Structure 1
Amino acid sequence: MKRRDFVQYAGLGAGALMMPSLLLGKDIPTEALLEPGMDALIKKNMADVALNTAKSLGATYADARIGRYLNQYVFTREDKVQNVVNTESFGIGIRVIANGTWGFASTNSVTADGIKKATEQAVAIAKANSKIQKEPVKLAPVNAYGEVSWKTPIKKDFKEVPVSEKVDLLLSANAAALENGADYVNSALFMINEQKYFASTDGSYIDQDIHRLWPTFRVTAIDKSAGTFKTRENMSAPVGMGYEYMDGLESEKLEGPAGLRLYRNSYDMVEDATVAAKQAKEKLTAKSVDAGKYDLVLEPNHLGLTIHESVGHPLELDRVLGYEANYAGTSFASLDKLKSGNFKYGSDVVNLVADKTQVGSLGAVGYDDEGVKTKKWDLVRNGILTNFQAIRDQVHMIDQNESHGCCYAQSWDDVQFQRMPNVSLEPGKDKYSISEMIKDVEKGIYIAGRGSYSIDQQRYNFQFGGTVFYEIKNGEIVGMLEDVAYQSNTQEFWNSCVKICDESDYRLFGTFFDGKGQPSQSSAVSHGSSTARFNDVNVINTGRSI
């Protein structure tokens, strides 16, 4: 990536911080996105070159991943288009076990000769690593699926939608924000298509076509006389869907407090930008919160980030085992807590699940990057810790013999390893709405949208902000608040969860940018929940000096 391009992208919002990891491959013209990739039969033949070469060199296991990654990003600000970026990356990654040890190599020369050389390198690396390997790799068994395929169930392929239509949508959202009080606004569309082919010596040949999309914006309102400004970001979620998400036609627009619009199934960006501008202006004169204990009513778009940091990360087995300690920390949820069978992660109403099959989610795939069919499993059931997230070479460490199917690599030239699946809070079983929940609160705060946060290296003590905050008194919303953040620890917080709205309020939050590993990789993951109430949580004022 050119430095000039990076500097340009770096001013385009929070997502731009991860541009180097997303902009993989070479620049291509827009029409090249529609060109067909390599035929499946040819991919099978090329994968077999890797598998056969690896076995001939003494490897006891091998897998090959042929990947074609297509990306399109559209950036705008106010009434101008800042950039349209199209990229393509194509190559193969080969992973082997030789002498009981992993080896990996990759190449963008997807020819018989190029693949053979890369496989030879992977085996050589494994044999060299085996000299310091203390215990041989132990793989959980996996089914041989033969030749199968899976595709994100989309209705409209983003690659077939004209760029002009995408630009018009973003500029319309910008115009709506400016007309309703915003002084500045930037917006973007991130669209990704992963065409992935996996083959292994276990007997699977898996062809997958994965689509993800993320609309985002940020509006800013300025009080020139006071010299202050406030921002409000979008209330959309990145999704594992096609461009139909942007149509706004099938969206169930759930009415939130104080006119807030909450979206599911599809997204009305212009409407959200309109409300965002009004709320950004309202934030300029909002009351600053009084620190103290409050009952918190947390909507899914906000709660998803808290789930990500306080549940998703600490329950990754490699983090529990200390493999991530140098980069991202460890976990308070140690092995002994799982083995005890009675560790109280949350209250009795808290049921947290991992799910790689959830339709519309970012993490939804048919098979993971080591050929394991994806599934759903419990992490916390009735408040009790019941499992971690683990892959083929890890599950024996927690006395299990089946991978959870959550192995992933961000590209063909990165080695696959354990990544967070979709982790979600199950909705309440009884019919219960947001308005009913607010009526049950005497002193509380309703929080919607993501904000800044901080959490320690064991994912235990934390602080979370949000996008918009409303004060609740005696069962009613009485006005907007500012400078709100809540502090707690993971176990205390989830044990304070007393009520969860039913499935009619269930929505997804997500991120394209879950970073992990050295060298670092990004993955996309969603977190679902209904609005939930947490009692007696400590709230601080972030705008007042101590």
Structure 2
Amino acid sequence: MNRRDFVGLTGLGATALLLPTLPGFGAKRVDPARLLEPGADTVLKKRLADAALNAAKSAGASYADVRIGRSLNQYVFAREKQIQNIVSTESYGVGIRVLVNGCWGFASTSVVTEASLAATARLAADIAKANKLVLKEPVQLAPQQGFGEVSWKTPLVQSAFEVPVKQKADLLLAANAAAMANGANYINSALFQVNEQKYFASTDGSYIDQDVHRLWPTFNATAVDTKSGKFRSREALSAPVGMGYEYLTPSAAEQVRGPQGTDTIGYKLRYDLLADAALAGKQAKAKLTMKSVIPGKYDLVLDPGHLGLTIHESVGHPTELDRVLGYEANFAGTSFATLEWKAKNLPYGSKQVNIVADKLQPGAVGTVGYDDEGVKTKQWDIIKEGKLVDYQKIRDQAHIVGQKESDGCCYAQSWDDVQFQRMANISLKPSPTKMSVDEMVSKVDKGIYIAGAGSFSIDQQRYNFQFGGQLFFAIEKGKITEPIEDVAYQSNTQEFWGACAGSCDQSDYRLFGTFFDGKGQPTQSSSVSHGSATTRFNGVNVINTARKV
């Protein structure tokens, strides 16, 4: 990554600083028109895949899969009144995984011909045979039916790649202008667009063609007090989505207002970038003179755009089975929720907590029809009435917990990376009983309403944590009284979810997510969403984060 790209990213604020990688920057840069050109047809891809599968079987593989991938990325970066960078990339190649004598072997190639794929399959088999020297326990794959020739595509109205680059650049510049006209001194904005054209074939008999689209508009607006040097920021309240450019078509029907007195807006599957940027400029400036929070115990009312990050860190990662088993520790460790812990039937949270993993959720960035092992995706329970009932697992993990099938949550960030267990869309179910945000606030005597995701910290077992946010409002005797600053809450996973007193209903349900969730070594990045409605947590410890310089 060159300095210009780095500045364009890091200027987006705390979210961008956490990016472990930016897929596409290492790929071949192309003219934007290239992103609209069709890839290879399924007839050719099936012939290529069969060449690899036949070679793998001839080399002794008991199982093999082939992933032919074409990854298209376009990133547009803007700062104040200028476009900083426009990056369009294409990556095309094949990854082949084989199982020989109970050992995995993997190899990849960017030379996409039948001869090359056959040679790569034989190389993967040789690697598997070499791995036998350090084998401790043979791989056990959960059975998987073959689906024959099937396809799946992200439901979308318009591909973001079909929209002229100038139109997208003008939109970011207009958002920047709106923020600065309303109080921001500086603003960085970006539009991330991804299209994964994925073809999977295996010796199980599957030939799966998928066309996956993702989009994320975001910004970070900053206001400065030039006399004191004090500055405050507000990031976008958008969510990354598994949709097309239609997400950027404003719709009043898709807006969800925060409680009275907050001047906050949440968004469902349509987002008004200009309105959010204008409001961000106003709110960033207002933060400069807001009162600082008084530390203590508060009831928290957490907006979905904030709660999603807490779900991600305290439920999503701790229930990944590889972390539970200690096989994975990169990016904040393993998990307190071990098999032994689960066997004790200890509460993960209150009976109000029902959390599902869902690879089918409409609009979510982690949604696909089939995973990278050819498993048909589904929804399943993770926490039911406060009790941990299941983990997230893939084909070679299912037998460890006495199960006979994968959950369909295996993923690789590119064709030249080996697939492994990744987080599904993990979401908190809304209340089945009608409950608005204003009704929830009216029942709080002393509390804080928090909107937007901010900084966070969590320990190496995903247990003790601290979370900040974007916007904070004091609640007294059932009413929002004033905006406040310098808020963060501290808890541990069981204590926090045990304090959950209930959620609003489906009408308030929205998605939060991340485009760049890092995991593994070497690091891979994936996209995942987390849904919830506004939710109340009683008696949570709040600290003041202000520092004197």
The alignment's TM-score, normalised by the length of structure 2, stands at: 0.97
Residue number among 354, 360, 365 corresponding to 2:363 in the alignment: 360
Tell me which residue corresponds to 1:281. Answer: 285
Summarize the alignment of residues 137-536 of structure 1 with structure 2, pairs less than 5 Å apart.
137-249=139-251, 251-257=253-259, 258-325=262-329, 328-340=332-344, 342-536=345-539
Instruction: Report deviation, 1:337.
Output: 2.6
What does 1:51-90 align with in structure 2 at a 5 Å threshold?
51-90=53-92
Question: 8 Å contact 1:251–1:267 — kept in the other structure?
Answer: no
Contact 2:508–2:533 (Cα < 8 Å) also in 1:
yes
TM-aligned CA distance change 1:440 to 1:326, over 3 Å: closer
Deviation at 1:19, TM superposition (A): 5.0
Unaligned runs of 5+ in 1: none
Does the C-alpha gap of structure 1 residues 265 and 277 become closer, same or farther in structure 2, counting only changes over 3 Å?
same
Q: Deviations over 1:58-90 (max 9, x none)?
A: 000000000000001111111111111100000
In the alignment, structure 1 residue 541 sits paired with structure 2 residue 544: yes
In the other structure, the counterpart of 1:103 is 105
> Quick one: structure 1 residues 153 and 327, their matched pair in 2 at CA, closer, same or farther if it must change by over 3 Å?
closer
Determine if contact 1:229/1:284 at 8 Å carries over to the other structure: yes
| Structure 1 contact 6–19 (Cα < 8 Å) conserved | no
C-alpha displacement of 1:20: 4.0
- Deviation (angstroms), 1:513: 1.1
Q: Deviations over 1:181-221 (max 9, x none)?
A: 11111111000000000000000000000000000011111
Q: Deviations over 1:391-422 (max 9, x none)?
A: 00001000000100000000000000000000
Structure 2 residue ranges without an equivalent (≥5): none
Q: Structure 1 residues 318-327 or 365-374, which shifts more?
A: 318-327
Alpha-carbon distance, 1:354 to partner: 0.2
SS at match of 1:171: helix
SS of the counterpart of 1:267?
Answer: coil
**Distance in 2 of aligned mates of 1:253 and 1:20:** 30
8 Å contact kept, 2:20–2:523: no
Question: What is the CA–CA distance in structure 2 between the aligned matches of 1:149 and 1:20, rounded to whole Å?
Answer: 27
**SS of match in other structure, 2:134:** coil
* SS at 1:470 equivalent: strand
- How much does 1:24 deviate? 4.2
1:344 counterpart letter in structure 2: P
Partner of 2:52: 50
Q: Distance in 1 between matches of 2:292 and 2:7?
A: 35
How far 1:545 sits from its partner (Å)? Answer: 6.4
Q: Which amino acid aligns with 1:486?
A: Y
Is the contact made by 1:357 and 1:366 (CA closer than 8 Å) also made in structure 2? Answer: yes
Counterpart Cα distance in 2 of 1:357 and 1:56: 36
The offset of 1:256, in angstroms, is 1.2
* Residues in 2 aligned to 1:420 and 1:280: alpha-carbon distance in whole angstroms: 33
Counterparts in 2 of 1:173 and 1:327: CA distance versus 1, 3 Å: closer
1:327–1:349 CA distance, 2 compared to 1 (3 A)? closer
SS at match of 1:245: helix
Residue 166 of structure 2: SS of its match in structure 1? helix
On the 8 A contact 2:300/2:536 being kept in 1, the answer is: yes
CA distance in structure 1 between the aligned counterparts of 2:71 and 2:269, rounded to whole angstroms: 25
Q: Deviations over 1:267-306 (max 9, x none)?
A: 0000001111111111101110010000000000000000
Residue of structure 1 equivalent to 2:137: 135
Amino acid at match of 1:403: S
Confirm or deny: 8 A CA contact 1:24 1:88 kept in the other structure.
Answer: no
How many percent identity over aligned positions? Answer: 62
SS in 2 for 1:450: strand
Report if aligned partners of 2:21, 2:524 keep a CA contact under 8 Å in 1: no
SS of the residue 1:278 aligns to: helix
How far apart in 2 are the matches of 1:439 and 1:361?
31
- 1:533 Cα deviation (Å)? 0.3
Distance 1:158-1:10 versus aligned 2 partners, 3 A rule: closer
Q: Secondary structure at the residue paired with 1:452?
A: strand
Question: How many residues of Structure 1 are paired with residues of Structure 2 in the alignment?
Answer: 544
Query: Larger deviation: 362-371 or 247-256?
Result: 247-256
Q: 1:34 aligns to what?
A: 36
CA drift of 1:6 comes to: 4.2
Cα distance in 1 between the residues matched to 2:139 and 2:105: 11
- The amino acid that maps onto 1:468 is L
The amino acid of 2:530's aligned partner reads H
- Residues 222 and 545 from structure 1, CA distance in 2 versus in 1: closer, same or farther, beyond 3 angstroms? closer
1:6–1:20 CA contact under 8 A, matched in 2: no
Seen in structure 2, the aligned counterparts of structure 1 residues 320 and 196 have a Cα distance that, compared at 3 Å, is: same
Contact in 2 for aligned 1:252/1:263 (Cα 8 Å): yes
Deviates more, 1:279-288 or 1:253-262: 253-262
Tell me the CA shift for residue 9 of structure 1: 3.6
- Asked whether the 8 Å contact 1:46–1:115 carries over to 2, the reply is yes
